[in-house]
Structure 1
Amino acid sequence: MMDSMKYPGLIPSNEHKRLEALQPYQVLGTPGQEVFNDFVSVVARLFDMPIALVSLVRADDVVFIGNEGLPEALVVAREDSMCSVAILNDGLTEFRDVVTDPCELVNPFVAQQMHLGFYAGQALRTPDGLAVGSLCVMDRRPRQLSAQEGELLKELALVAQELLRLQAAHATNPTLMATLRTRLDGPVQQSLNRLTTLAELGQWEETTDTADAQGYTASRLDEARYLAQTLYRELQAARG
Structure 2
Amino acid sequence: MEAVRRYDILDTPPDGAFDRVSALAARLFDVPVATVTIVDSDRIWFKAASGLDGVSQIGRDPGLCASAILADGATVIPDALADPVACSNPLVAGSMGVRFYAAAPITTPDGHRLGTVNILDTRPRVISEAEMETLSDLAAIVLDEMELRLSALKAVRTEQERRKAEQRARTQAERDKASLAAFASTLQRTLLPPALPVVPGLELACHYQTASPQDVGGDFYDVFPLGGARWAFFLGDVCGKGAEAAAVTSLTRYTLREAAQHHEEPEAVLAALNTALLLDASIGSRFCTCLFGFLEPAADGGFNVTVASGGHPPAYRLHTRPGGGAEVEPVHIKGGMLVGAFEEAAFTSRTFHLGPGQGLLMYTDGLTEARLADGTMLGESGVAAFLARRTGPADATALVDDAVALIQGLPQDVGDDVALLALSVPPVQAVGGHGVSATAHTTAAPVPVDATGPSGEKD
The TM-score, its normalising length taken from structure 2, stands at 0.32
| Deviation sequence 1:63-100 (CA, Å, 0-9, x none) | 0101101125611110042000110011111110112x
Compared CA separation, residues 136 and 72, structure 1 to 2 (3 A): same
Is 1:161–2:140 an aligned residue pair? no
Q: Which residue in the other structure is 2:102 paired with?
A: 120
Q: List 4+ stretches of structure 1 deviating above 3 A.
A: 28-32, 171-174
Q: Residue 131 in 1 paired to residue 99 in 2?
A: no
Q: 1:149 aligns with which of 131, 146, 149?
A: 131
Contact residue 31 and residue 171 of structure 1 kept, 8 A = no
Other-structure match for 1:235: none
Question: Which residue type is aligned with residue 120 of structure 2?
Answer: M
Alignment RMSD (CA, Å) = 2.3
Change (3 A) 1:80 1:29: same
Aligned to 2:75: 93
- Between the aligned partners of 1:132 and 1:31, the Cα distance in structure 2 is 18
Distance in 2 (alpha carbons) for counterparts of 1:29 and 1:172: 18
**Alpha-carbon distance in 2 for matches of 1:43, 1:66:** 11
How far apart are 1:106 and its partner, in Å?
Answer: 7.5
User: How far is 1:153 from its partner?
Assistant: 1.0
Q: 1: distance between equivalents of 2:89 and 2:14?
A: 32
Contact kept, 8 Å, 1:54 with 1:64, in 2: the verdict is yes
In the alignment, residue 142 of structure 1 is paired with which amino acid? P
- Maintained 8 Å contact 1:63/1:73: no
Match of 1:63 among 45, 48, 69: 45
Which residue is 1:11 aligned to?
none
Q: Distance in 2 between matches of 1:49 and 1:27?
A: 26
Which structure has greater strand proportion?
A: 2
- In the alignment, residue 129 of structure 1 is paired with which amino acid? G
What is the TM-score of this pair, normalised by structure 1? 0.59
1:51–1:67 CA contact under 8 A, matched in 2 = yes
The SS at the match of 1:63 is strand
3-state SS of 2:37 partner: strand
Structure 1 unmatched ranges of 5 or more: 1-18, 175-240
8 Å contact from structure 2 (residues 64, 89) kept in 1: no
Q: Is the 8 A contact 2:34 2:51 kept in 1?
A: yes
Map Cα deviations across residues 17-43 of structure 1 (whole Å, 9 max, x no partner). Answer: xx1111133324546612211221011
Kindly state the Cα deviation for residue 170 of structure 1 after the two structures are TM-superposed.
2.3
Report the CA distance shift for 1:103/1:158 in structure 2 as closer, same or farther (over 3 A): farther
| Greater RCO (Cα-Cα under 8 Å, separation 6 or more) | 1
Letter in 1 for 2:90: F
- When Rg is computed on C-alpha atoms for both structures, the one with the higher figure is 2
Q: How many residues align?
A: 155
